Structure formats: structure tokens, C-alpha cells
Amino acid sequence: EAGVTQFPSHSVIEKGQTVTLRCDPISGHDNLYWYRRVMGKEIKFLLHFVKESKQDESGMPNNRFLAERTGGTYSTLKVQPAELEDSGVYFCASSQGLNQPQHFGDGTRLSIL
């Protein structure tokens, strides 16, 4: 079975621009999570979808971040406008059930210049 896939693997943009990250979870996984690792810090939770519904978005840094999961399949995370502090690696993970281990993608490395 295909794993969690994320696009792009690396994105370099200038401050003020917009970037959209995409995550394709494992087929059949209702739970989709976004995490972020800022350089030198721990991996931190951003938000959780169950199918197309946001269950928990307590980790979203501010309203410049918008996550969607149309139709309960793939998800996008848009940053608009990007700021320097948004640089980091963004991970997506999915799980079949809530109490099942999460499967992670390879991450998107976002660099804001």
C-alpha cells in the first residue's frame, strides 16, 4: 500500500508570498494530522482532521495558516502571507483509527527568505 505522500518535498519562497502544502494520506485513513518542526525545536502538533471535519486545530499558530480536507481525502495547508518564522519542516500523518499509530510522510521543508 502507498504511504503518506507530501508535496512538495521542499519549497523556498520569499516573505509575504503564499505557499500551499499538500498531503495525501494512506487510503482509508480517516484521521489526518499536521505537525511542524521548527529548527532546533521539537515536532509540534498543528491540527487534526477526521474525514473532512477539523477535530482539533489548537496547534495552528495564527490565522495566516489555513488547512482544508475537501471530501475527506487529501489535505492542504496554506500559509498566507508567509513570515520568516514559518520556516521549518511540515509533517503530515494519518491513522485508520484514533487509537492506531500514525503513519508519517517524508515532510515538506519550507524555507522563507
Partner 1 sequence: AQSVTQPDIHITVSEGASLELRCNYSYGATPYLFWYVQSPGQGLQLLLKYFSGDTLVQGIKGFEAEFKRSQSSFNLRKPSVHWSDAAEYFCAVVPPTSGTYKYIFGTGTRLKVLA
d(CA 26, CA 15): 32
Q: How far is the CB of 103 from partner 1 (least distance, A)?
A: 7
- Of 16-24, 33-41, 66-74, 75-83, the window that binds partner 1 (rule: CB under 8 A) is 33-41
Three-state DSSP at 104 gives strand
Closest to partner 1 by CB, 28 vs 97, is: 97
d(CA 30, CA 39): 30
Q: CB count, 10 Å around CB of 27?
A: 9
What's CA 61's distance to the chain center, in Å?
Answer: 12
For partner 1, the binding residues in 65-104 under the rule CB under 8 A are: 91, 93, 95, 98-99, 101-104
Closest to partner 1 by CB, 81 vs 111, is: 111
Q: Does 28 bind partner 1 (CB under 8 A)?
A: no
Q: How far is the CB of 36 from partner 1 (least distance, A)?
A: 11
- What does the angle CA 9 – CA 50 – CA 26 come to, to the nearest 5 degrees? 45
Q: How far is the CB of 43 from partner 1 (least distance, A)?
A: 4
